Structure 1
Amino acid sequence: MANERVDKCWLPFLIALLCLNSALEADAISAFERQEKDRVHRLPGQSFDVSFAHYAGYVTVDEEAGRALFYWFFEATEDPASKPLVLWLNGGPGCSSIAYGLAEELGPFHINADGKSLYLNPYSWNQGANILFLDSPVGVGFSYSNNSQDILSNGDKKTAQDSLAFLNKWFKLFPQYKGRDFYITGESYAGHYVPQLAQTIVQSQKLTGGKSINLKGYMVGNALTDDFHDHYGVFHFMWGAGLISDQTYKLLNIFCDFQSFVHTSSHCERILEIADNELGNIDPYSIFTPSCSGSVTMSMNKLLKRRRSAGKLGEKYDPCTEKHSTVYFNLPEVQKALHVNPSFAPSKWETCSEVVSENWKDSERSVLHIYHELISYGLRIWMFSGDTDAVIPVTSTRYNIDALKLPTVTPWHAWYDDGQVGGWTQVYKGLTFVTVRGAGHEVPLHRPKQALTLFKAFISGSPMPTLSVHADS
């Protein structure tokens, strides 16, 4: 009789457990089916096979407004189940992570000069991690909204909130990555996006107690950080490199030192135009490499607002990769392969959206306070800088780091790649700084091999490699 009563007591629990298991299995099957809908099987112009799976599609971040962000996700080349998840963001504001980070920097697929065929990047970052590229905010790349006002009201705060909403929903779509070590990376105006998103994640999890996003750290390159130090570093670098006159250097420091990079004064804009004329027809994002012939030179004011570049260093330098991307991603067959919704596909896909950048609302003048907050939280934080970039140069980043007043752990020293100096590095308490020798604004584009070494060191928490043995020949 006693055993019968125990069995009866346990019966509801067992039924509930079976129901729960069934629900979990159904959710897993549903997620798998949704993933399969987003799986990219083969791309137009792809003449090679790959060992990794990749997926592309939309995540709706606001059901009422119909606001949806476009992503492209690549599993690691080997054993993705053991690798961390890394989000990459490009800046602008208004520039596509698909156009830059993926198609000409660290992604597995790069585009040939014909704009119709692909080649495999031997230094893709998915050799070390699972890489997620996101076009953010709406109006960028293939990301869209049913509410046209959304594209006219983007800003730093809204971008961070939508990116968090994207991540929370993406982890439901890919539950196997929930709780995985997670890092955020990016460059240029993503110097705002990345720490702001990290801060939003941390603050959200403090309020809700959520653990699905296991944020471990972030890394930014040639990053917009603090308007005063960034401007001062730009002007210092251009003058020191002999790109502008003494008089222009003085006027830039007078009229532009406290200006916002997004909203500048008329006085500052006039001096920037003078600086533009003095620079001549060079690529300020990579001052020692040729610019794309036939391109219209962009004013220095617009250059400072749009944090991107065009160019590729490989066996043969091609400064026109942006043009190749524009051709490729406008092909209907490419958009179909990437599951782009034809009802919301842009009439003309662009690498950067002028509408987004020109209507940008809030832009923090400094994110240094976020660094202090997240350093104290214990995140792994790295900053890197290509040392031939005149748009957000190494001098700007060094002024920003100096303003943080962090104690030094490992002094300034060279790091090495195949026996040659790859750059220099210094480790502070709570932050690591790395320069990449000879790289422009887009470090993985100009120095892909060294950038992969940098990335692997970051995700493993290892120091940059040094030359341990000096052999006499």
Structure 2
Amino acid sequence: MIKLVATFCLLALFGLCNADIQADKLYELLKTKRSRNSPVPNGWSSPDEATNEYSPVYIAQQDGLAELDKIVTLPGQPAGVNFNQYSGYVTVNPNAGRALFYYFVESPTDSSTKPLVLWLNGGPGCSSMIGAMAELGPFRITSDGKSLFRNDYAWSNVANMLFLESPAGVGFSYSNTTSDYDHAGDKNTADDAYIFIVNWLERFPQYKTRDFYITGESYAGHYVPQLAYTILLNNKKTNQTVVNIKGIAIGNAWIDDETSLKGMYDYWWSHAVNSDATHDGILKYCDFANETSSEMCDKITDKAWDEMGDVDIYNIYAPICLTDLKNASSTGSINVFDPCWEDMLIAYLNDSAVQKALHVKPTSWSTCSDVLTAWNDSPVTILPIIKYLIENGQRLWVFSGDTDGRVPITSSRYSINALNLPIATAWRPWYLNKEVGGYLEAYQGLLLITVRGAGHTVPSYQPQRALTLFSSFLGGILPPSS
């Protein structure tokens, strides 16, 4: 059970486990499952078990809806905005009244020739408006939570960026059938995201033939490969929209329970977060390949968390938020990480004028959902799906901020090593502005690349290095070696 607890603590995306009500609820749910000895079922077939049966999905009439979704201006938006923004809902199940919210930013230059890229935050159950407003979108929020300033290193500089809040119950996405919130899980999330994509492409048909990529971070290490896999299967077996998917990039991604947990505790010890005695105890008493856990393992891992103290696990060297939003100044700098970003994001997206501009119904918006009562399927590993994507010619990059303690670089290395892929380019540094931006190693069909000095949400901490990495990914080239 320690495996499940650690996996779902990803839901508390910006605090220690059990640091908020949502994480407490999930912890209680997992304790109940443990008492029943009933782990979360897999819910996914392996790629070689997939069928080619025809299974049409819901597609609605979308004519004219794109223009209605166009954003005139966002409250507090700086002057001189030279790109189109859109946002709104796409219905994915009319019978249930289930609709997913999106925010779409076209590139300021040559948008008609640049690729379409979907971004997904993880959780499970956390909003992709985190990525849009606190990481890689065109704006960041000032520290008073009321206005915006430009992100010079926005990913929309090089691609048309689509942010999706998924599944229903996350952020502004909703269902009129509240029992839907009881059935959330990896499989339903991928299926609804696929239905969203094909309907969104009907709404914006000029993007139907555009190269398409999926990116994301954290538990999107599940979401992104699963959606790519779903798209590839449906491209083969239906006569509806063929999505021109070319590849995926996942950051600090949870892709395999066993290797990710081992890598996390090894990282803590190697970065002086845990004592030798505690790490030795974890190696002795914990079997991360097993779905259950011993009492001794529970005790020693609890001690590991206690030893960490009050640090931000998502960047063990970053400051923590100590400022009252009411006393914050309104200035902001893209080159300075603000540890109070979550307070600012919540304040801005709960402003009624902002919600009106985004074309959403009045919502009590939060970074991670508090209405999803269960997460019903979560495979212990995504590695078979990743292998399938490689075999089907998809570009696949795994990037990692090297100061993240939640899904650290050691976890990514252990997970990739489990694939036993041949090395194509040996480990080397990559450079930006004559400084080491990180390190990379290319394998046959996959690239592992780090971002030096970045935490769990890579573009938040190192926006320029993140944009360089992303541009290289889109171009299919390695960042410079000098």
* TM bracket (short chain): 0.7 to 0.9
Deviations 1:354-403 (A, max 9, x none): 442x5111001000001111111001111000000010000000011111
Q: Is the 8 A contact 1:425 1:434 kept in 2?
A: yes
Question: In proportion to residue count, which structure has more helix?
Answer: 1
Q: Which residue of 1 aligns with 2:223?
A: 193
What is the CA-CA distance between 1:270 and the residue it aligns to?
4.5
Whether 1:62 and 2:77 are equivalent positions in the alignment is no
The structural deviation recorded for 1:45 is 1.1
Equivalent-residue separation in structure 1 for 2:428 and 2:79 (angstroms):
41
Find out whether 1:396 has 2:416 as its counterpart.
no
TM-aligned CA distance change 1:267 to 1:110, over 3 Å: farther
* Structure having the higher Rg: 1
Pairing 1:171-186 to 2, within 5 Å after superposition:
171-186=201-216
Query: Does 1:245 find its partner at 2:288?
Result: no
- Deviation string 1:89-137 (CA, Å, 9 cap, x unpaired) is 0000111001x11111000011011001110100000000000000000
Structure 2 counterpart of 1:327:
347
**Counterparts of 2:295 and 2:235 in 1: how far apart (Å)?**
42
Give the CA deviation at 1:206.
1.4
Aligned to 2:46: none
Q: How many angstroms does 1:222 deviate by?
A: 0.3
Q: CA deviation at 1:269?
A: 5.2
User: Is residue 274 of structure 1 aligned with residue 303 of structure 2?
Assistant: yes
Aligned residue in 2 for 1:161:
191
1:372 aligned counterpart, secondary structure: helix
Tell me the residue number matched to 2:110.
79
> Aligned partners of 1:71 and 1:161: how far apart in 2?
16
Q: Would you say the 8 A contact 2:335–2:463 is kept in 1?
A: no
Q: Structure 1 residues 234, 265: closer, same or farther in 2, change over 3 A?
A: same
Residue in 1 that maps onto 2:337: 317
Displacement of 1:244 in angstroms is: 1.1
Counterpart-to-counterpart distance in 1, 2:360 and 2:399: 33
Instruction: Give the match's secondary structure for 2:195.
Output: helix
TM-score (norm 1): 0.84
Match of 2:481 among 455, 461, 466: 466
- 2:37 matched to which residue of 1? none
Gaps of 5+ in 2: 1-60, 325-331
Change (3 A) 1:227 1:161: same
1:14 aligned residue: none
Provide the secondary structure at the position in 2 that maps to 1:415.
strand
Which of the residues 337, 341, 360 maps onto 1:340?
360
Match of 2:57 in 1: none
8 Å CA contact 2:152, 2:334 repeated in 1: no
Q: Is the 2:121–2:128 Cα contact (8 Å) retained in structure 1?
A: yes
Aligned CA distance change for structure 1 residues 270 and 352 (closer, same or farther; 3 Å): farther
Match of 1:145 among 175, 187, 195: 175
The alpha carbon displacement at 1:316 in A equals 3.5
Separation in 2, partners of 1:377, 1:267: 43
CA distance 1:313–1:240, shift in 2 (3 Å): farther
Amino acid across the alignment from 1:335: Q
Matches within 5 A, 1:222-371: 222-253=252-283, 254-255=285-286, 257-258=288-289, 270-293=299-322, 314-342=334-362, 345=363, 348-356=364-372, 359-371=374-386
Aligned to 1:134: 164
User: Does the Cα contact within 8 Å between 2:140 and 2:334 map onto a contact in 1?
Assistant: no
- What is the distance in 2 between the residues matched to 1:90 and 1:250? 34
Shift of 1:249: 2.0
- From the superposition, tell whether residues 454 and 316 of structure 1 become closer, same or farther in structure 2 (CA, over 3 Å): closer
Partner of 1:298: none
Q: Give the number of equivalent residue pairs.
A: 414
Residue 216 to residue 92, structure 1, CA distance change in 2 (3 Å): same
Moved more, 272-281 or 368-377: 272-281
CA RMSD in angstroms comes to 1.9
CA offset at residue 462 of structure 1?
1.1
Contact 2:151–2:334, Cα closer than 8 Å, also in 1: no
Q: 1:202 to 1:317 in 2, by over 3 A?
A: closer
Which amino acid counterpart does residue 94 of structure 2 have in structure 1? E
SS in 2 for 1:80: coil
Partner residue in 2 for 1:438: 453
In percent, how many aligned pairs have the same letter? 49
Query: How far is 1:466 from its partner?
Result: 1.8
* Residue 411 of structure 1, aligned match among 405, 426, 430: 426
Amino acid at match of 1:179: T
Q: Which residue number corresponds to residue 70 of structure 2? A: 39
User: Which amino acid counterpart does residue 422 of structure 2 have in structure 1?
Assistant: P
Q: Is the 8 A contact 1:313 1:447 kept in 2?
A: no
| 1:383 alignment counterpart | 398
Aligned residue type for 1:351: T
The residue type equivalent to 2:397 in the other structure is W
Quick check: 1:179–1:211 contact (8 Å CA) kept in 2? no
Hey, what's the Cα distance between the residues in 2 that align with 1:313 and 1:443?
A: 16
User: Contact 1:31–1:175 (CA<8 Å) still a contact in 2?
Assistant: no
Deviating more after overlay: 104-113 vs 238-247: 238-247
Counterpart-to-counterpart distance in 1, 2:208 and 2:70: 19
1:421 lines up with 2:398 in the alignment: no
Choose which of 377, 387, 393 in structure 2 pairs with 1:372.
387
- 2: CA distance, partners of 1:381 / 1:198: 11
SS at match of 2:227: helix
Summarize the Cα distance change of 1:211–1:243 in structure 2 as closer, same or farther, 3 Å threshold.
same
Paired residues of 1:154 and 1:359 also in contact (CA < 8 A) = yes
Aligned AA (1:279): M
User: Which residue does 2:11 correspond to in 1?
Assistant: none
Distance (whole Å) between structure 1 residues aligned to residue 287 and residue 71 of structure 2: 46
SS in 2 for 1:106: coil
Aligned counterparts of 1:281 and 1:66: Cα–Cα separation in 2: 42
Distance in 1 (CA, whole Å) between partners of 2:295 and 2:230 is 34
Q: Which amino acid aligns with 1:375?
A: I
Partner Cα distance (1:290, 1:225) in 2:
28
Question: For residue 322 of structure 1, what is the amino acid of its counterpart?
Answer: E
Amino acid at match of 1:62: N
- Write the letter of the residue equivalent to 2:162: L
Q: 1:76 to 1:177 in 2, by over 3 A?
A: same
Aligned partners of 1:227 and 1:259 also within 8 Å: no
Q: Give the distance between the partners of 1:271 and 1:366, measured in 2 at CA.
A: 24
